[in-house]
Chains A and B, each alone.
Chain A
Amino acid sequence: MSFGSPYFTVPEFEYVKPKTLKEALEFLDGKGEDTKVMAGGVGLLAFMKERLIDCKYVLDIKGIPELRELSAERGKGLSIGAAVTLSELLALPLLKEKYTALYDAVKNLSDPNLRNRSTLLGDLCEAIPWIDGPPPLILFDAEVVISSLKGERRVKVKDFIIGTAETVLQPNELARSVHVPEPAPGTVSHYLKFSKGTEFSIASVGALVVNRNDPARRRVKLAYGAINLMPIEAFQAEEVFRQDKPVGELIGEALKVVDATVETVTDVLGTAEYRKHLVKVQTAAVLKEILEA
């Protein structure tokens, strides 16, 4: 049924559901320009209803066994297939223990009913500013594994998104999985986001520390989402933590550097000033959590 208004209807397209990866890549090789890849469909169908996306074909990848693979072997890291739902990812016991920031992000991403459909790679490929995937994945130095008929290539998550709703994916390519290397023993991480209820994030920050009790070898990483058009890593603020000073002093110094170097933007969700305030409050909170808790 349709009331004629965009919200209620999905524009016309042809539905294609390949059973093997090869079949999917062959399809994309010829018709990639006119195709949108669908995993959970949560984002895609919503955008199509609003007439923000129009395409000739929708390629449903849920029927491809390789893309449903989720593996977490000790020492080898985490490999998350493109069709693995966020609920399946959350059910992984290792996630909270080893990849805490990623767990925090997924646990607070939309709501449980939507997480039964949506996927981490779907989130990344949307590449809109308020998605939750990039900050934690940048902290863990994760890579997107991309397949095409020509073979496979790997792109770091920090280089994967190149603009608003823009990624490095070519029309003939399919993002097949995300690989998250296993963090060094003793790594502590945390992710915080600010949003109104289950709506879009207005500012989010992830932080990670390795060797937190050894100032000489201590490394801190800070990554932000939703505050600018693309995810941001605060390299200059990270440098502060190479000094051997009390943690409280370091956090104070880092906040000053973040204030001066991390740029925020104004959009319908909030002003640049408001975002800067959220950035400072949240940065202080995550740093305290990973360095002092």
Chain B
Amino acid sequence: MVLTHKVSYTVNGTKRTATVEDNELLLDVLRDRMGVKSVKAACWRGECGLCTALVNNKPVKTCLVLAVDADGSDIVTAEGLAGEELLSPLQKSFVDHGALQCGFCTPAFVVTAHHLLETNPDATDEEIKEYLSGCICRCGTYYQIVEAVKDARKYYKK
């Protein structure tokens, strides 16, 4: 029997609550109940990485997380990176380097790269490539993405 649970998350700094069923995914709750549309639904099986969000400050593929399991989590998505500004420096760097074509994968790459540079602002080229290997860009703008992230390292150095 499916039960319902009351869950609460902090999404981009705002407290949000929802009543979810046992078998609901965090991805669906974020997109359909909370209107967080930067978290993309594409492969639904943990391969493409486009549903990545920072859950308790770790990049996680939300299509493989139960909504009830994430109860109490602090969730940050691309919408939460910029603050008062229109775009964060990292996001601007993506624009400056033409690191997107269709833009569907961009939020996932941005949040994953943001987490990398927050924890390791001196990340080497190899470390950047390895860290972003969980996300797929079907337009193939990988070179520009890595350039954008390399260029954004300076914004994260204290």
Contacts and interface: CB of A to CB of B under 8 A. Distances in A.
A117 B65 contact: yes
Most chain A CB within a 10 A radius of its CB, from B22, B52, B64, B112: B64
Contacts of A236: none
Q: What size tier do the contact residues of chain B reach?
A: 20 to 34
Contact of B112 (A8, A40, A46, A113): A113
Interface string B129-154: 01101110000000000000000000
A62 B56 CA distance: 14
Contacts of B23: 9-13, 15
B22 to A, nearest CB: 4
B60 A113 contact: yes
Contacts of A116: 58-60
Interface string B41-85: 100111101001000001111001110110000000000000000
A111 interface: yes
Given A13-B2, A13-B23, A117-B65, A42 B46 contact: yes
Nearest to B63: A45
Interface string A53-76: 000001010100000000000000
Measured as residues with beta carbon below 8 angstroms from the partner, the interface class of chain A is 20 to 34
B69 A60 contact: yes
Contacts of B130: 112
A14 B59 contact: no
Interface string A198-222: 1000000000000000000000000
A8 B59 contact: no
B3 interface: yes
Interface string B88-102: 000000000000000
Interface in A1-39: 1, 7-15, 17
A135 B10 CA distance: 41
B1 interface: yes
A51 to B, nearest CB: 13
Given A14-B1, A113-B59, A116-B59, A41 B66 contact: yes
B134 A113 contact: yes
B54 to A, nearest CB: 10
A41 B27 CA distance: 14
B32 interface: yes
A167 interface: no
A112 B131 contact: yes
A113 B61 contact: yes
A14 B2 contact: yes
Nearest to A57: B22
Interface of B: 1-3, 5, 22-25, 28, 31-32, 41, 44-47, 49, 52, 58-61, 64-66, 68-69, 112, 130-131, 133-135
